[in-house]
Structure 1
Amino acid sequence: METPRNSKYLMQLTLVATLGGLLFGYDTAVISGTVSALDSFFVLPFGLDEMSANSRLGFLVSSALIGCIIGGISGGYISKKIGRKKGLLLAAILFLCSALGSAMPELFMKPIGEGDHTFIYFFIVYRVIGGIGIGLASMLSPLYIAEIAPAKIRGKLVSLNQFAIIFGMLIVYFVNYYIAGQGDDTWLNTVGWRWMFASEIIPASLFLGFLLFVLDTPRSLVLKNEPKKALQVLEKVNGKLEAQKILSDIQNTVSHKSGKLFSFGIAVVVIGVLISVFQQFVGINVVLYYAPEIF
């Protein structure tokens, strides 16, 4: 298999984009280590009956999924309107805001650490913000890699994003385990859970910082009428001989209007949707969110 002219530069761009996937997994699974603490801190003080208390806790834990829907639906529009890179920057900012706000829902309203159960709705808002970041990253990270990678190794590089998602989940389980070991249950229910959410500040800051130093994808640059910049990126990744040809192909494809929704047949769309549906129907979210409680 042929390798691109500058494989090191290509791998750097890919690794930056996969940080979005890592944060996808990290933000999704970080809640698992905090379930009992959130129940103690936010839910029990309301004195609700068992059914109402369980429902409130369930909504508290899964509230990020509301943001995922918003981010997933708006991802296509955002990537086209402001570009792939800026879309990822927006996701990184949302991850950072969510990490700060989830750890300190009383931020800007009370001294840090003095918030109580009445800040539950602010906590939910911050989790939804993180969910929007997840929705954006779930689309834009693989899209960025696919548009930056040469065709011959595109599938292999895009698959790294899926690996990064699972790796992010794995990392946060160990992070949560380490933090939980720093004190007793009382400490975990009052302070420890805050540190679990705050730990996301580190990868989110790295993601945001690295994105400032990478270029947008060639296709995105062509869509913004910046063919010279697109050619520069293509030359770095593919070499000068291939760059001009690929640029011409991109310019030809973006000049055509998109076909109808079922241009390639309804089966393709239905199968693609059903893959995502069955990923949820297998019940994996139960394990992701409640693994510590189950075991």
Structure 2
Amino acid sequence: MSNVNNIGYVTFLSVVAALGGFLFGYDTAVISGTVSQVSTQFSLTSLQSGWYVGCALVGSIIGVLFAGTLSDGFGRKRTMILSAILFTLSAVGCAISSNLDQLVLYRIIGGVGIGIVSIVCPLYISEVSPASHRGRMVSLYQLAVTVGFLGAYLMNYFLLDLSVDFSSHNALLQKIFGTEVWRGMLGAETLPALMFFLIIFLIPESPRWLLVKGQESKAVSIFSKIYNNTSVIAHQINETKSMLQSERKSDWKILLTPGIFRAVIIGVAIAMLGQFMGVNAVLYYGPSIFETSGLSSGDSLFYQSLIGMVNMGTSVLALLIIDKIGRKKLVYVGVSGMVISLLLIGFYFMMGKSLGLSSIFLLVCFLLYIFFTAGSISAVIFVFLSEMYPTQIRGTAMSIAGLSLWVGTYLIGQLTPWMLDTLTPAGTFFLFAFMCLPYMLIVWKLMPETAGKSLEDIERYWLKSKKG
């Protein structure tokens, strides 16, 4: 297929769109290094600290609600440009905010950007990628998210160390990089956000979206850069136009078509369930969880950095194999490993100390859990959601599934401290293990294998699937 597909060009388009994933990861993770400083400076109560952390998730839910309509109406490219503007505004605003209300407002604005890129970036990548490479190209987005997480951890560490001896005659610089370094941590996102804004202008609009809007000549021009074979281009154009002609209904009527509605419900289910299998609890509250095992805060942060590295490294592995072995096999192997790892973590918290197990055992279990998670559900979720729906309403349908993902993320962020206190750490991780089972069952019984299939072939599968 290498002589048919211009993979170099497709990779360039995918990497540009995936930069939105880096901003997603950075904006989400950077907060972890600022909570104690912001709480101290503004004398926050525990509820106010929770709102400072959670307000960006509220913004993400808002962003997801509008992302589909914006991308279907104004195009994938313009919507990505809007997200870059929001990230830039948020980063600058957080760095110079004068009170908590302003800080929360700018965090919400950044959260809206997160919600938008979580929909439009993987959607764009799926629409410009040939079927044989689509899985690994969309996985670039998830890889970029993990790089953003690690980048935030490293930037927080670097700026905190820099602030100790930082001295400047400029009052604003002294505040941002010295006395109130949390401003620098949040504001450092300005550079990648501006880069994202500028580089988007180098990529074209999604050719499938252009066909939806009747701009066939522009779509042909873009497809000619993706495919090196005129017959393949003609086939792709005809396939997409054929499916569009069968969709001459309003967006909501298409969504309510029995087979498509089934796909939407399945997407909502796997997006929501994926959040209750523990991954965000570990990424957000890892240091706190490690401290409950008796580790110092320094060791806990070191362990969390190791988790971030494994998360990123395994995402690279998943990217390389997702199109070769398929999405469903990754889920079967990965979720099985997640269940075993979660049960071992629960066992450690229940009986580990009485058996003399060291914290190294806990670290290994967590690293195994992240390895299996990053190689399965984290790798496939955005691939699944970007592939499952018809071209005409793909953005809207992805927004519905994405909304459930962010609601689940918000709920797990709010409930994890309560679960750790009420259910105990052991009970919490046993619950996460149990929640893996319905996810596995849905993927096994209800999801088709989409590897190697065109987006139009996947759409036909759902349209034929009228029952259930």
Please say if 1:229 is aligned against 2:218: yes
Task: Tell me whether 181-190 or 168-177 shows the greater mean CA deviation.
Answer: 181-190
The TM-score, its normalising length taken from structure 1, stands at: 0.86
The TM-score, its normalising length taken from structure 2, stands at: 0.55
Q: Which residue of 1 aligns with 2:70?
A: 78
Structure with bigger gyration radius: 2
Q: Which residue of 1 aligns with 2:232?
A: 242
Residue number among 179, 182, 205 corresponding to 2:159 in the alignment: 179
Q: CA deviation at 1:213?
A: 1.2
Residue number among 38, 48, 51 corresponding to 1:56 in the alignment: 48
Residue number among 273, 279, 291 corresponding to 1:278 in the alignment: 273
- Counterpart CA distance in 2 for 1:71 and 1:253 is 28
User: Which structure is richer in relative contact order (CA contacts within 8 A, separation 6 or more)?
Assistant: 1
1:32-71 paired onto structure 2 within 5 Å: 32-44=32-44, 53-71=45-63
- Secondary structure of 2:139's match? helix
Q: CA deviation at 1:279?
A: 3.0
Contact in 2 for aligned 1:85/1:215 (Cα 8 Å) = yes
Contact in 1 for aligned 2:24/2:145 (Cα 8 Å) = yes
Contact in 1 for aligned 2:80/2:121 (Cα 8 Å) = yes
Q: CA deviation at 1:265?
A: 7.0
Q: Which residue of 2 aligns with 1:28?
A: 28
- Counterpart CA distance in 2 for 1:24 and 1:164 is 9
Q: Which residue of 2 aligns with 1:142?
A: 122
- Counterpart CA distance in 2 for 1:61 and 1:167 is 21
How far does the alpha carbon of each residue in 1:117-172 deviate from its partner, in whole angstroms, 9 at most, with x for none? xx211111111111111011001011000000011211221111111111111111
Residue number among 208, 231, 235 corresponding to 2:197 in the alignment: 208
Identical amino acids, percent of aligned pairs? 39
How far does the alpha carbon of each residue in 1:212-241 deviate from its partner, in whole angstroms, 9 at most, with x for none? 111001011122322111111100001233
Q: CA deviation at 1:34?
A: 0.5
- Counterpart CA distance in 2 for 1:288 and 1:151 is 32
Pick closer, same or farther for the CA change 1:268–1:197 going to 2, 3 Å. Answer: same
- The answer for unaligned runs of 5 or more in structure 1 is 45-52, 106-114
Residue number among 239, 259, 265 corresponding to 1:264 in the alignment: 259
Pick closer, same or farther for the CA change 1:284–1:42 going to 2, 3 Å. Answer: farther
Pick closer, same or farther for the CA change 1:3–1:35 going to 2, 3 Å. Answer: farther
Letter in 2 for 1:81: G
Pick closer, same or farther for the CA change 1:157–1:286 going to 2, 3 Å. Answer: same
- The answer for unaligned runs of 5 or more in structure 2 is 167-174, 292-299, 301-468
How far does the alpha carbon of each residue in 1:30-50 deviate from its partner, in whole angstroms, 9 at most, with x for none? 111101111012234xxxxxx
How far does the alpha carbon of each residue in 1:169-206 deviate from its partner, in whole angstroms, 9 at most, with x for none? 11111111111111349988842111101110111111
Pick closer, same or farther for the CA change 1:199–1:287 going to 2, 3 Å. Answer: farther
Residue number among 167, 170, 178 corresponding to 2:150 in the alignment: 170
Give the RMSD, CA atoms, in angstroms: 2.3
Q: Which residue of 1 aligns with 2:209?
A: 220
How far does the alpha carbon of each residue in 1:47-94 deviate from its partner, in whole angstroms, 9 at most, with x for none? xxxxxx000010011100111111111111000111000011111111
Pick closer, same or farther for the CA change 1:267–1:6 going to 2, 3 Å. Answer: closer
- Counterpart CA distance in 2 for 1:82 and 1:55 is 39
Equivalenced residue count is: 275
Task: Tell me whether 280-289 or 147-156 shows the greater mean CA deviation.
Answer: 280-289
- Secondary structure of 1:158's match? helix
Q: Which residue of 2 aligns with 1:197?
A: 186
- Counterpart CA distance in 1 for 2:188 and 2:40 is 21
Task: Tell me whether 261-270 or 230-239 shows the greater mean CA deviation.
Answer: 261-270
Q: CA deviation at 1:283?
A: 4.5
Pick closer, same or farther for the CA change 1:184–1:215 going to 2, 3 Å. Answer: same
